[in-house]
Amino acid sequence: MPPTVAFVVFGTPEPKGSTKAFVRKMGTAYRAIVTSDNPNLKRWEQLVRFEAQAALRKVGLEASPFFDGPVAVRIRFGLIRPPSVSAKKRPCPTVKPDLDKLVRAAIDPLIGVLFRDDAQVCQLINPEKFYVPDGRPAYAEIAVMRFPIPGAPR
């Protein structure tokens, strides 16, 4: 079993914002309906899940969830700089989307694929967001590994 599953998701990383829930009567039963305030989130989560499953297949594994115990996650988000913002004016993306919301939207789709529950994530390794060089696509690099990491200082 390889100690790390790593993959890249090309596309604009989407943040996981607030969710709203309400109850609707359907026939004789009541159902809870949960909606997201980001309409692009579902597509982003599908992309992340697809790439995670493809990464498992590349290492010759199809079993999900892959990790049983605690895991560490390394994650980086390459964002496209808006045309109206110069590199001198804003060298780093200090505006929305928030890094913590990007991380949530990238980790949640891994539930049931790479691990059973996101509570298994015991360490985030240097999560970051940055602007990609001009002409490059937006992406997220994600690596999930066993925790504690063998040989790493604690």
Q: What is the 3-state secondary structure (H, E, C) of 15-43?
A: CCCCEEEEEEEECCEEEEEEEECCCCHHH
Considering the entire predicted model, what is its pTM? 0.83
Give the pLDDT of residue 91. Answer: 92
Give the pLDDT of residue 1. Answer: 46
Task: Write down all domains in the chain, each with its CATH number in brackets.
Answer: 4-146 (3.30.1330.70)
User: Which residues of the chain fall short of a pLDDT of 70?
Assistant: 1-2, 18-19, 35-36, 62-64, 149-154
Question: β-strand 71-79 against 4-10: which pairing, if any?
Answer: unpaired
Residues 6+ apart with CB under 8 A from 44: 11, 12, 13, 14, 105
Give the pLDDT of residue 141. Answer: 98
Cα(16)–Cα(108) distance, integer angstroms: 9
Give the pLDDT of residue 58. Answer: 85
